């Protein structure tokens, strides 16, 4: 097994829509930062739909001295817009980006797609323009991307992103450890050597989870879905069962040499911190905070 020092543990946030949401995010970040994650990432809406809010979140994190990896989704953007965004991040001392294609809102014609069609083109552009200035993360899909022609084509497309210059990958969330291990093994057979870090979605709200999963193609196994459905409005039972399921998943992933974990925190600290502590993950010195 890897030693904890070789593993990367990170937290994902989304940019809040309201000042109340921002206050909640700040409280959650202070609690989460206390265990010393490698970095926080922050999502970005394709076509620039969250640009101002993502900047506000990333700038606040940087002002606290916290290592931050903004997500950058390229679909719907022209090169100059990407240069502009990256310029902002350089000014704020960012050295890690999560490079994505993103999803266009339905109903947009081809004309609105922008310069880049796929994430590999964004990665290639970032390497051409900025050399090795950034650590570049890309997305990976152990259960395969919903638009992929087939599993093999998705793996080849993933390889293309890595060959374009990605340093590491974060997966879509999943609840089947086998899907992850099969994916990693196949990648190794194809000569893909970057760390593939499992994305972990804690379970605390079934309706929200079911909605996300339907949209992004992440499978909630039937036995989990049925149990969660059965709890109805009993939030305590949903959280308790969800915690046990995700704890066991994380433990299996770490026992199987996963190179770290990336938690989709949903801007909440409690579910992720409970997992962190029960997994016995290292609590290192928090990053600087003013
Ligand atoms: P790509 O790697 O471009 O793949 C998209 C699809 O096209 C796949 O089916 C792939 O097989 C296929 N494909 C890829 N390259 C080619 C090619 N050259 N020719 C033909 N087909 C190809 N979305 C956001 O909008 N904002 C975010 O902040 C965000 N963060 C995310 C973070 C993580 C860790 C993950 C896993 C996803 C995130 N997403 C985000 C969702 C993501 O943008 C969507 O899943 C999107 O549909 C695909 O993005 P991608 O970067 O994986 O695309």
Q: What is the CATH number of the domain that holds 131?
A: 3.20.20.220
Residue 285 lies in a domain: no
pTM for the model stands at 0.96
User: Of ligand 1's atoms, which has the minimum distance to the CA of residue 117?
Assistant: 3
pLDDT at 110 over 70: no
Residue 160 CA to ligand 1 centre (angstroms): 12
In a domain, 284, yes or no: no
For 62-81, the pLDDT digits (tens) are 999 999 999 999 999 999 99
pLDDT digits (tens, 9 = 90+) for 116-164: 999 999 999 999 999 999 999 999 999 999 999 999 999 999 999 999 9
Is 231 inside a domain boundary? yes
239 lines ligand 1 (CB under 6 A): no
Residue 5 pLDDT greater than 70, yes or no: no
Domains of the chain: total: 1
Rounded to the nearest angstrom, the distance between the alpha carbon of 99 and the centre of ligand 1 is 9
Catalytic residues: 12
In a domain, 24, yes or no: yes
Q: Classify residue 287: in a domain, yes or no.
A: no
15 within a domain of the structure (yes/no): yes
Range of the domain at 262: 8-278
> Does residue 219 form part of some domain?
yes
Answer whether residue 2 is part of any domain. no
Ligand 1 close to Cβ of residue 43 (< 6 A): yes
Residue 4 has pLDDT above 50, yes or no: no
Can you tell me which atom of ligand 1 is nearest the CA of 171? Answer: 36
Residues forming beta bridges with residue 71, ordered by sequence position: 98
């Amino acid at each position: 097994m890897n030693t904890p020092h070789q593993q990367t543990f990170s937290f994902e946030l989304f940019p809040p829509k309201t000042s109340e949401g921002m206050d909640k995010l700040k409280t959650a970040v202070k609690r989460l930062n206390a265990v010393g994650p490698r970095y926080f990432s922050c999502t970005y809406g394709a076509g620039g739909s969250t640009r101002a809010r993502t900047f506000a979140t990333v700038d606040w994190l940087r002002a606290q001295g916290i290592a931050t990896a903004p997500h950058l989704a390229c679909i719907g953007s022209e090169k100059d817009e990407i240069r502009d965004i990256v310029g902002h991040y350089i000014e704020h001392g960012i050295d890690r980006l999560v490079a994505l294609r993103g999803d266009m809102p339905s109903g947009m014609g081809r004309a609105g797609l922008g310069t880049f069609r796929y994430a590999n083109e964004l990665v290639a552009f970032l390497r051409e323009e900025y050399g090795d200035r950034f650590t570049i993360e890309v997305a990976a899909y152990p259960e395969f991307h919903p638009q992929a022609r087939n599993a093999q084509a998705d793996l080849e497309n993933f390889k293309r992103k890595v060959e374009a210059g990605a340093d590491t990958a974060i997966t879509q969330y999943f609840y089947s450890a086998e899907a992850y291990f099969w994916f990693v093994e196949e990648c190794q057979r194809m000569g893909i050597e970057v760390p593939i870090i499992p994305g972990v979605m804690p379970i605390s709200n079934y309706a929200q989870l079911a909605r996300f999963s339907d949209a992004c193609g992440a499978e909630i196994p039937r036995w989990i879905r049925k149990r969660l459905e059965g709890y109805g409005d009993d939030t305590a039972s949903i959280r308790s069962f969800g915690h046990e399921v995700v704890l066991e998943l994380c433990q299996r992933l770490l026992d199987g040499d996963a190179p770290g974990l990336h938690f989709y925190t949903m801007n909440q600290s409690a579910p992720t911190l409970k997992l962190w502590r029960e997994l016995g993950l290292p609590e290192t010195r928090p990053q600087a905070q003013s």
